[in-house]
Amino acid sequence: MSTDTYTPVEDTGFGKKAAGPVGWLDDRLGLAGVAKKNLRKVFPEHWSFMLGEIALWSFVVLLLTGVFLTFWFQPSMSEVVYDGSYAPFRGLEMSQAYASTLHISFDIRGGLLMRQIHHWAAALFVGAMLAHMLRIFFTGAYRKPREINWLIGVGLLALGMVEGFAGYSLPDDLLSGTGLRFVDGLIRSIPLVGSYLEFFIFGGEFPGEEIIPRLYMAHILLIPALLLGLIAAHMLLLVYHKHTQWPGAGRTNDNVVGYPMLPVYAAKAGGFFFVVFGFTALMGALVQINPVWAYGPYNPSEVTAGSQPDWYMGFSEGLVRIMPNWESTFLGHTWSWNVFIPGVGGLGLLFTVLALWPFVERWVTGDQREHHLLERPRNAPTRTGLGVAGMTFYGVGWAAGGNDIIATQFHLSINALTHIFRIGIFLFPVIAFIITRRICIGLQRADQNKILHGYETGVIERSPDGSYAERHAPLPVTEQYRLTAHDRLPALEAPAETDENGVALPHGRVAKVRHRVRSFYYKGAIDKPTLAEVEHADEHLAEIEGHPVHLGEDFQGVSETGIPKSH
Amino acid sequence: MSDEIQSHDSSSTPVRTEPVQDPGLQPHQWRPTDVDPAQERRAERQISGMFTVAALLFVLFAVSYFAIDSDQTFLNWSASNFALGATLGGGLLLIGVGIIQWAKKLMGDHEMVEMRHPARSSAEDREAVMADINAGLQESGVGRRPLIRNSLFLSVGALAVPSVVLLRDLGPLPHGQDETVWKKGMRVVNDVSGLPIRPEEIEVGQLINAEPAVFFPAEGEEEAEVHGHELLAAKSKAAIIVVRMRPEDITPSEGRENWGIDGILCYSKICTHVGCPISLWEQQTHHLLCPCHQSTFDLADNGKVIFGPAHRPLPQLPLGVDSEGYIIAMSDFPEIVAPSYPELARDQKRLDGES
């Protein structure tokens, strides 16, 4: 790697040959201008920045394996008699979609592997998007100027779930047909227009002959095209805004510190594509997913106990399961609240809240600045608490989606479980919020203690009068800076209700509400120490009770056995 | 950087306000591979080893593709799937890990600093764009010619008409949601064998999944009256279950006293919640549980909902016996089967009027 022996690429044999064609391209496209800005673009490093990458690469895996599957899959609901190599089904009537799925699984070499990789990658795609979104949420990375990219992300998540569901429905096996039946019931429950939507979408009465060809079109053309467009926009904005970074020594709101795209980041990200692909391929090789031949062709009069959707639909499924059986009749119409509210409203509420959050938070904090430094979750206790409350809400819904499995596995009453979930979906998020906010504040306090009193070295000293005390030592200055690099809390002044002449201000009421929400948002949060406090602490730490602390340059604390660690 | 709106905390502020000052970027730490040629060579060997093994695995992939029959098994699992997936996945993982190791151990790891710029454009650019927009608007005359402008809006808005009308043939208008293929005199047949059922063949406590006779070929016929995808549509409404309970356990509501035969009752198999076929039968309690969302119906009590998200009771099919002693339906379902829909109340009223 020594640079002194390095030959510039334009002087190598390859470079001399390539310069022509590259020059040819640059004459027409002006590539150098774009490349100059971006080839050595700096990306910061942190493990959590990898989550979005998993989503991106699993999408690429989905495209590759999906193209393979389209070579044989036939999206048709016409009934055929099966004569393939899976003996138990020979002579059975089934749709062409199901028969061709069996064909891919049993007669095309590597077909089952590609199907399983495709399905695992789909589960990973949605999971990685969700994890990535939580990372963005808990670190405040959606704040100005990245709100639009957050909205694109919410759109990607929603589209990804629809895409997954469409794919899940295509094989036309008993499980996927049951899923479609559920969606049919869901569409029917839409007030006033439900029946019309049902007949238009299914091309007649359920199941009809149209739904699988239509879902196929959506699954391989419409939604992937939208996903691709949104992913492109997502990445372009990422490049334009430059990646956020964690605060630390030398890492400020005005710079970005990390490794250049070429070669380090390109290699790491490119290598990671192979890791994601390899991982999903091993999953496809070793862990069975969606064995459609075990379920049989779709038959509207059959179902298996323990029918479960793919994991990302579990939240909706759970809400539908725990909803009370409300249905009412007025205006001459039937209103199926029991299906409509959880089925359509559940995810609708989730995505609406997600989309609005950055704007709500900005209204509450009144913060108009650009933020490129990530915030540690503990330093935004209310946001973190709300996030965990949302996760709990989602988690309770998700667990409720498997209430039958939980009941049979743990020998519990399904009725009792359902009642617990009915209460829990409202109660548990509140408890989670209170506990999380408390934990955050506790962690803030711990940080403050580390700054003002140093860290615990683990060295116990006995004083001349016989008492024991643990020796504290100041943190390295880089660590001290990292713990104090966040914003100071704003002053919370109640807004004036009247102007200087005693006339009521026009927005007095809104300002009052905002002030109240704002006080709630910052309630209990611990501010970082002031300059004076730190200066006082420095003196205090330098000389404890007249005994100067000299731990030496290489003192790094002690191990559990009490032996000082060294380099 | 424009300073009119933005107010960044800048480390160049002369007065120190922050409790701890930014110590600045820390000195670069050398890696073992930077300072020890032995380590460097070792890393090089490791990485190229990974790439070589990956290439080998891909060759093995091709070997297993041609050598392994599709019916061979390995640990009860398709040997072909295992071999193809393990070689492909293993090779890909090795390539990935190798490249990342290369980047981590051997490529330059000097951190670089790039300055950020505010997302907004410069004030001059904004002004220039506004000037361009104004020039364009003025030259087009959009403001001065409201007649043209508004009629253009009208025509483009009216484009919605063909766009919506074109979708009309997506499907027929809703129909037939309140009827099934059941009618007076149609035999109840076993859903697998298609054979008609006599009341004496059913034991107390037994549940039979059944279907209307039209789903199976009549004697001497090749094909059933209802077949293909029409069969699926008809099935998703007409599937039934027949159960026999002790007559003294049953509490029929008014008008339903003669809908059963000696404790044999017949209900729709399609859940009134979202339409799952419902068939988890608790013999001792007479409860029927839907496996999808756990709605529970009491079959001894007119299919009443006793738990879960379903609202309407399970529709009951009145039964009789034909001259040959087989169970038949006495009419179509008097109540609407399958999930609720907006016009259900209206349709049910009409059904009630007809009976």
Write a three-state SS string for A295-353. Answer: HCECCCCCCCCCCCCCHHHHHHHHHHHHCCCCCEEECCEEECHHHHHHHHHHHHHHHHH
Query: What confidence category does residue A1 fall into, taking pLDDT thresholds of 50, 70 and 90?
Result: very low
Contact B268, B314 (CB under 8 A): yes
- Give the separation between CA A262 and CA A266, rounded to whole angstroms: 6
Domain assignment present for residue A31? The answer is: no
Residue A278 with chain B: CB contacts under 8 Å: 88-96
Judged by average pLDDT, the poorest of A231-240, A500-509, A556-565, B35-44 is: A556-565
Quote the DSSP letter at residue B12: T
Q: Which of A526, A247, A522 is nearest to A385 (CA)?
A: A522
- Give the separation between CA A182 and CA A202, rounded to whole angstroms: 13
Q: Are residues A267 and A118 in the same domain?
A: yes
pLDDT above 70 covers what percent of chain A? 95
Q: Are A109 and B85 inside 8 Å of each other by CB? A: no
How many structural domains does chain B have? Answer: 2
CA distance B323 to chain A (A): 29
H or E element in which residue B35 lies = helix B32-35
**CA A391 and chain centroid, separation:** 11
pLDDT tens column, B208-231: 999 999 999 988 888 888 888 889
Domain assignment present for residue B166? The answer is: no
Angle, vertex CA B241, rays to CA B238 and CA B246, nearest 5: 145
Q: Are residues B198 and B102 in the same domain?
A: no
Q: Are residues A464 and A318 in the same domain?
A: no
Q: Are residues A51 and A199 in the same domain?
A: yes
Token pair in block for residue B245: 């309970």
Residue A78 with chain B: CB contacts under 8 Å: 228-229
Query: What sections of A366-402 are H helices per DSSP?
Result: 381-400
CA distance B29 to chain A (A): 13
Query: What confidence category does residue B3 fall into, taking pLDDT thresholds of 50, 70 and 90?
Result: very low
Q: By residue range, what is the domain housing residue A120?
A: 39-375
pLDDT tens column, A13-32: 888 888 878 888 888 988 88
Q: Are residues B73 and B211 in the same domain?
A: no
Question: How many other C-beta atoms are found inside a 10 Å radius of the C-beta of residue A75?
Answer: 20
| HSE-up (13 A, CA, CB side) for residue B248 | 0
Residue B343 with chain A: CB contacts under 8 Å: 195, 333-334
Interface mutation target, options B1, B232, B347, chain A, most CBs of A under 10 Å: B232
Q: By residue range, what is the domain housing residue B244?
A: 188-354
How many structural domains does chain A have? Answer: 2
Q: Are residues B211 and B350 in the same domain?
A: yes
Describe the crossing of helices A223-241 and A147-169 by its angle, rounded to 10 degrees.
160
pLDDT tens column, A462-481: 888 888 888 888 888 999 99
Domain assignment present for residue B288? The answer is: yes
Domain assignment present for residue B5? The answer is: no
Q: Are residues A334 and A482 in the same domain?
A: no
Whether residue A48 has pLDDT greater than 80: yes
If you average pLDDT over residues A359-373, what whole number do you get?
Answer: 94
Q: Which of B86, B106, B126 is the last residue of a domain?
A: B106
Q: Are residues B292 and B197 in the same domain?
A: yes
How many A×B Cβ pairs under 8 Å? 360
State yes or no: ipTM above 0.95: no
Q: Closest chain B residue to A272 measured between Cα atoms? A: B96
Q: Which of B106, B131, B149 is the last residue of a domain?
A: B106
Residue A281 with chain B: CB contacts under 8 Å: 85, 88-89, 92
Specify the CATH number for the domain of residue A58: 1.20.810.10
Token pair in block for residue A507: 């927005």
Contact A511, A495 (CB under 8 A): yes
Query: What confidence category does residue A169 fall into, taking pLDDT thresholds of 50, 70 and 90?
Result: very high
Q: Are A303 and B269 inside 8 Å of each other by CB? A: no
Pairing of strands B112-115, B77-78: unpaired
Specify the CATH number for the domain of residue B342: 2.102.10.10
The pLDDT value given to residue A474: 85
Domain assignment present for residue B300? The answer is: yes
Query: Is pLDDT larger for residue B240 or for residue B15?
Result: B240
Domain assignment present for residue B48? The answer is: yes
H or E element in which residue A194 lies = helix A194-202
Q: Which of B55, B78, B106 is the last residue of a domain?
A: B106
Query: What confidence category does residue B1 fall into, taking pLDDT thresholds of 50, 70 and 90?
Result: very low
- Helix, strand, coil share of chain B (percent; to 5): 40, 15, 45
If you average pLDDT over residues A210-221, what whole number do you get?
Answer: 97
Q: Are residues B92 and B236 in the same domain?
A: no
Q: Are residues A232 and A330 in the same domain?
A: yes
Q: Are residues B338 and B239 in the same domain?
A: yes
Query: What confidence category does residue B5 fall into, taking pLDDT thresholds of 50, 70 and 90?
Result: very low
pLDDT tens column, A256-289: 999 999 999 999 999 999 999 999 999 999 999 9
Q: Are residues B60 and B206 in the same domain?
A: no
Token pair in block for residue A300: 């509207």
Token pair in block for residue B235: 């099935």
H or E element in which residue A274 lies = helix A266-286
Q: Are residues B93 and B198 in the same domain?
A: no
Q: Which of A327, A346, A375 is the last residue of a domain?
A: A375
Q: Are residues A459 and A332 in the same domain?
A: no
Q: Are residues A131 and A276 in the same domain?
A: yes
Judged by average pLDDT, the poorest of A49-53, A105-109, A541-545 is: A541-545
Query: What sections of A46-173 are H helices per DSSP?
Result: 51-70, 96-106, 111-138, 147-169
If you average pLDDT over residues B304-321, what whole number do you get?
Answer: 96
Q: Are residues A321 and A460 in the same domain?
A: no
CA distance B231 to chain A (A): 10
Judged by average pLDDT, the poorest of A431-445, B2-16, B139-153 is: B2-16
Domain assignment present for residue A221? The answer is: yes
Whether residue A548 has pLDDT greater than 50: no
Q: What mean pLDDT is reported for chain A?
A: 91
Q: Are residues A371 and A464 in the same domain?
A: no
Q: Are residues A206 and A342 in the same domain?
A: yes
